[in-house]
Structure 1
């Protein structure tokens, strides 16, 4: 049975190993490592978002989702901006 997750490149270690966080329903359910070279070329950076297909715990396919990546970055920036606003004086 094939399962699909959202995979996010959390970090790249020593320029060689990508650490992916697999998410289901916006919750991290697993962490995977793989060689950076096995990622699609346009997604070889921290914060890259993919659809990840797994079957029997084996990674079958990664599809880069740049539009989802941009939306996540925009949303995070908006949260940061809201949190950095000064509170009104009481």
Structure 2
């Protein structure tokens, strides 16, 4: 009975479904779709990070990772802030 552990990131919510991208070693390797009722209440939003265990392709454990969700949010905001502060290039300044 093969068991695999992944980091899952909620990509989007469609109707009552959550599309979750599965990551292994920092790369997206698959995606799963779950009813949002199967998710922890605090994790029902895009970009929520989950620790997911699959056994024979079925979710057997799913835990919301509050710290990693916040960490990724801060890194994304930091990248956005750096891009927003870039000086205009020659084409933009004329």
What's the TM-score once normalised by structure 1's chain length? Answer: 0.90
Larger radius of gyration: 2
C-alpha separation between the residues in 2 aligned to 1:81 and 1:7? 26
- Superposed, 1:24-63 pairs within 5 Å as 24-63=24-63
Unpaired segments ≥5 residues, structure 2? none
Count of residue pairs brought into register by the alignment: 89
Moved over 3 A (4+): none
5 Å matches for 1:1-90?
A: 1-14=2-15, 16-87=16-87
SS of the aligned residue for 1:47 comes to coil
Q: How large is the Cα RMSD of the aligned pairs?
A: 1.5
TM-score normalised by structure 2 residue count:
0.87
